[in-house]
Amino acid sequence: MAKKRWGGLAVAGAFLLTKGKVILALLKFSKFGGTLISFGVSLLFYAQVFGVWFGVGLLYLLFIHEMGHLFAAKRLGFKTGPAIFVPFMGAVIGIKDTFRTPKQEAILAYGGPLAGLVSLIPLAIGYAVTGNDFWLVIFHLGALLNLFNLLPVSPLDGGRILAGLPIIVWVAGLAALIAYGITNFSLILLLIAFFGGSAVWKRYKFAKQYEENRSTLMLYRAARERVLRAKAEQERANAEVALAPEVEEEQTVESTYDPIAWSLRLDLQDLRQASPEEARQEADDLLRYQYDAANDYDALLRRIDQRIEPLRLAEESVQYHQMPKKQQTITLLAYLALGAILFIAFEYSKGYLPTPS
């Protein structure tokens, strides 16, 4: 039987090699070309391993799930790419916009499992009408796939839905996934756990960096604002000199003293005294920049921005994952409700599955 399946795969592969250019030429004019090609390739693989109808059922579940994400993205006004199917890995859609709030990410992620739940309805009807176990098997598989996707681990849908909740939620989901992946030795689960662990570590690292350098970031931003004001004042002074050069000649003083830069230095000293101990070294560095740059405000701004950038990224990560308490409660309740319904569907269908002969 296995030889027959792999023989069919070889025949299909030979056909694609000889006629593939014609097929691609027909599909490239359609924006759904990538979806159709990846769908066909995935069906080919699934059919060889599980059988044609099981492959069709599996791809139906994946397609509806991704259409849920696509519909949610359109409701949010996001630009999207076509759905692409990856054999034995599932399917993905490309999001061409960036999430601005965890609420947006939660809505888009929630659309997939919610559509997955809706996809179970035709399967339940098919089983009720025909009594064919095929419908029940696909129903059970759909409940399992969407329930698994609700695990609170990034990049799974559950982790993205709960991105605005405290990081402990991600840690708990990751621990459960690792434990299950080790006890059942699933490379795919362990791979997902690896990416989930990376997301947890990145989020923790940014949060720690932000807490340790919050006062330093305040210091740099205050200095940057002061330099911008000094630069604007210098530009206005230069403009006045250009309009009245004779006045400039009378008031020219041979000195490197710059009252604006001196004021900046005093401001930074005050800020340094008000900052905690860990920020003082940063303030000393910034004072050196003032001496080095003198009146070259653009150079000073560039050097300040170099220090602000990594701290700004940490700040953005912390602020992004902060969701209002009311919104957190609504998100968590919606998440638990969807998970409970899928779990009931999974457990109920499991009791009616045919036993292997």
Q: Which residues pair with 90 in a beta bridge?
A: 86
pLDDT at 143: 94
pLDDT at 13: 43
Contact 24, 40 (CB under 8 A): no
The angle subtended at Cα 86 by Cα 80 and Cα 91, nearest 5°, is: 45
Contact 229, 189 (CB under 8 A): no
pLDDT at 57: 86
pTM of this structure:
0.70
Q: In this structure, what token pair is assigned to residue 56?
A: 């069709």
Contact 112, 69 (CB under 8 A): yes
Q: What is the mean pLDDT of each run of 10 residues along the chain (357 residues)?
A: 44 41 43 65 71 84 89 86 68 73 91 94 92 90 92 90 92 87 78 88 90 82 80 78 58 44 58 61 62 64 81 87 91 95 92 70
pLDDT at 280: 63
pLDDT at 252: 45
Contact 113, 157 (CB under 8 A): yes
Residue for token pair 């700040």: 315
CA 23 to chain centre: 34
